[in-house]
Chain A
Amino acid sequence: MYFEPNEDMTALLSGLEQIALGEGTEWEPSGDWSRQVWSHTLDRTLDENGYYDAGAEESLGAIAAAAMIWRLSRLSVNIEAAASAMLRPALGEDLPRPIAVMTDRRGGAVRFLPMAKAVLRIDDDGVHAALLSDGDVRELPTINAYPMGEIVNDALEWRRLDADAGRIRDLWRIAVAAELAGAMRGGLDAVIAHVKDREQFGRPLGAFQGVQHRLAMASARLEPTYWLTLKAAQELDSADAAIALGYTASISTQIVYDLHQFMGAMGLTLEHPLHRWTYRLRHLRSELGGASTNLQLAADRLWRNA
């Protein structure tokens, strides 16, 4: 056991940290009060500096991709990083990005489709990819903090990829778990800053024990998510992947509720960034069947098929 990242991963993450704190990442309400903001600057910087390909490097791999996705998901701005960093290197395909991902049991609406250049489909028939051009996708109105769309071109050319659907689905579980965990962390950080600052009844909200206990509990529940996700990415074990996603999705409900409670009415405005995390979390928590499906899967993998 050794919890420190290797040298290459340390270098990668410290470079990423600089970028994450740099241009195009800070909170700004969007001009038209839309609920989502796409950071072209951040996306371009990561792309140009090869971050999305890091997962293909032997010394980095899925664990580095998971750590990267987690870090980027803590930001209030949106970019499509999970599929690009986790799935593209594993598929060994030079798919154009952004990449949207469709899995079984989702409705017609898929996040990132409106700006995606490629779409992946992971289901019982295997893994398929299609390139997208103008007119293939219709953007849908949504309350989510993701751009959502559906494919309207029935004649899209799906190409079957030479990949193990089970393994790709596990990687996607890990990527989504990392996104959930990162977004919860981002939201929690914002709320912790708020309760230190906002005073009612002559003291900061964070001085009330009722507030402290729930935020402390949120933090204690959240802490393992990072490690569960990285372990799953390192081991590439199906039960680990299901546990990482199942656990992370299962704690998100209470945490999102608490974050909004402690932010008060301010958290319901578009002037404060809290929604940029929570309205991603509301969507992510049901991805790949959500907590119940993944926890059942974990039990199956651990005991039923053993």
Chain B
Amino acid sequence: MDFDWSDDNRRYRARVRHFLEQELPAEWPEIARHGPGSKEQTEFSLDFCPKLAEAGFLVPHWPEALGGANGTAWEHLILGEEMWAVGEPRGGQYMNVNWIGPTLMRYGSEAQKDRYLPPMAAGKAIWCQGFSEPNAGSDLASLRTRAERDGDHYVINGTKIWTSYASLAETCFLLVRTGPLSAGKSAIAILLVPMDTPGIEVRAIPSLVGHGDIHEVFFTDVRVPVSTRLGEEGQAWEIINYSLTNERVGIPRYAMSSRVLGHIVADLKRQDRFNDGVVRMRAGEAAAACEAARLLVYRLVDMRARGQTPGPDASLARVATVAADNAVLDFALDFLPEFTTGNVYPEYLAHHERAIVAGIASGATEIQLNLIAQRHLELPRGPR
């Protein structure tokens, strides 16, 4: 075992850091204050991701033929850590590079790859993920948005909810039902739907997170060609399992948590509040939570680097990551409560936004706990 970075990895991290120091504008903390899902940050990504692409830091883990550099799993992780540590300047485009792009590479038609991959690799594509519905949240397989076949078109009717980035996205990675509800997962398909198709209406949901972060998206008789389908009818579950495994490994949020924790401690020291033994104990506890999450994520990356597929380990890592986010937030709320008022601490506010959604967005922690109970502990399956 070796828990140290290779020289190559160290150099790579230093290059990414240097780039971020040079290229992130002075007003970045103010933009990032609203969190990675916010409209401000998504707009910013349209300026920033092309620069990342130019410097080779957007899709280095993609194959060379598609604009990448065949980078290693560790480089991909380091890139993600450094992006998260500064508040994720890629905004919603992290989804493109981490999972939508790789999913299209594996399951997309040639036409789909030609159309969608180049703008992603150039940092110019905003996507949204149309999974959840008003009555299908944790129980995603009960989704009802219908796509009826009409010749060589689908006609889509239904409602998606909590859709991040929808107001700025050009394309929606949409889950639709092509058969009866009783058929569950086996009657679901994925459509890549241009958001300017007539019949699509987007409404921002006023929320505690971000500005314009989450939306409702209504589909009324939306006609799209059958060629927008990704994979086959009924193949959606296999495809999104592949995608989400990528997504889960792709978010090293503990990097943001631990950097924010360092700043909180520095602030407390400056204010002479770090002498208190309880404060230091809680800081240590938060640091340990971040380190725990980091190591569980590293273990997943190590598996991937060696060509293995992480199983329930991914759920363990996600739960640890949510715990780390909250340990840092709780520490801040208890000992630096002034960060919630005024505009002095944009970085802490960004962390706050992220931590409160961490256990819900992209799947509730309790669902991960169920998976851990079944797949890791191999407990008998109860009602779900």
Contacts and interface: CB of A to CB of B under 8 A. Distances in A.
A268 B208 contact: yes
A269 B215 CA distance: 10
Interface stretch (B2-10, B12-20, B357-365): B357-365
Nearest to A296: B278
Interface in A251-273: 253, 257, 260-261, 264-265, 267-271
B36 to A, nearest CB: 15
A211 interface: yes
Interface string A10-23: 00000000000000
Give the interface size class of chain B. Answer: 35 or more
B209 A268 contact: yes
Contacts of A148: 341
A201 B370 CA distance: 13
B138 A201 contact: yes
Contacts of B208: 35, 143, 268-270, 275, 279
A210 B366 contact: yes
Contacts of B282: 292
Give the interface size class of chain A. Answer: 35 or more
Interface string B342-380: 110000010010001101110011100110000000000
B334 A292 contact: yes
Contact of B206 (A265, A267, A270, A296): A270
Interface string A264-306: 1101111100010001001101100011110010000000000
Contacts of A285: 333-334
B17 to A, nearest CB: 30
Most buried by B among A109, A148, A279, A286: A286
A210 B370 contact: yes
B333 A269 contact: no
Interface of A: 29, 33, 35, 106-109, 140-144, 148, 199-203, 207-211, 253, 257, 260-261, 264-265, 267-271, 275, 279, 282-283, 285-286, 290-293, 296
B25 interface: no
Nearest to B370: A210
16 contacts: A106-B337, A140-B341, A144-B340, A200-B142, A201-B138, A202-B139, A203-B383, A210-B366, A265-B161, A265-B162, A269-B205, A269-B207, A270-B206, A286-B334, A290-B335, A292-B278
B337 A107 contact: yes
Contacts of A109: 338, 341-342
B132 A265 contact: yes
A270 to B, nearest CB: 4
Contacts of A106: 337-338
Contacts of B214: 265, 268-269
Nearest to B205: A269
Interface of B: 132, 135-139, 142, 161-162, 205-209, 214, 276, 278-279, 282, 326, 330, 333-335, 337-338, 340-343, 349, 352, 356-357, 359-361, 364-366, 369-370, 382-384
Contacts of B278: 292-293, 296
A257 B359 contact: yes
A268 B334 contact: no
A200 B138 CA distance: 7
B383 A207 contact: yes
Given A141-B342, A264-B360, A270-B208, 17 more contacts: A143-B341, A200-B142, A201-B138, A210-B369, A253-B334, A257-B326, A260-B356, A265-B132, A265-B360, A268-B209, A268-B356, A269-B214, A271-B206, A279-B208, A283-B340, A286-B335, A296-B278
Nearest to B140: A200
B352 A270 contact: no
Given A275-B208, A285-B333, A285-B334, A261 B366 contact: yes
Contacts of B335: 286, 290
A257 B330 CA distance: 10
Contacts of A265: 132, 137, 161-162, 214, 360-361
Contact of A264 (B352, B364, B383): B364
A205 to B, nearest CB: 8
B137 A286 contact: no
A142 B360 contact: no
Nearest to A199: B135
Contacts of B366: 208, 210-211, 261
A291 B334 contact: yes
A143 B137 contact: no
Contact of A208 (B135, B205, B383): B383
A216 B214 CA distance: 31
B383 to A, nearest CB: 7
A210 B371 CA distance: 12
Contacts of A293: 278
Most buried by A among B279, B282, B370, B383: B383
Contacts of A270: 206-208
The 6 A-B pairs with the shortest beta carbon distances in the complex, nearest first, are A107-B338, A286-B337, A109-B341, A200-B139, A33-B206, A142-B341
Contact of A286 (B207, B209, B333, B382): B333
A293 B337 CA distance: 14
Most buried by B among A29, A265, A291: A265
Given A107-B341, A260-B356, A200 B207 contact: no
Nearest to A208: B383
Nearest to B344: A107
A210 B206 CA distance: 30
Contacts of A271: 205-206
A279 B209 CA distance: 13
A148 B341 CA distance: 7
Contacts of B334: 253, 285-286, 290-292
Contacts of A275: 208
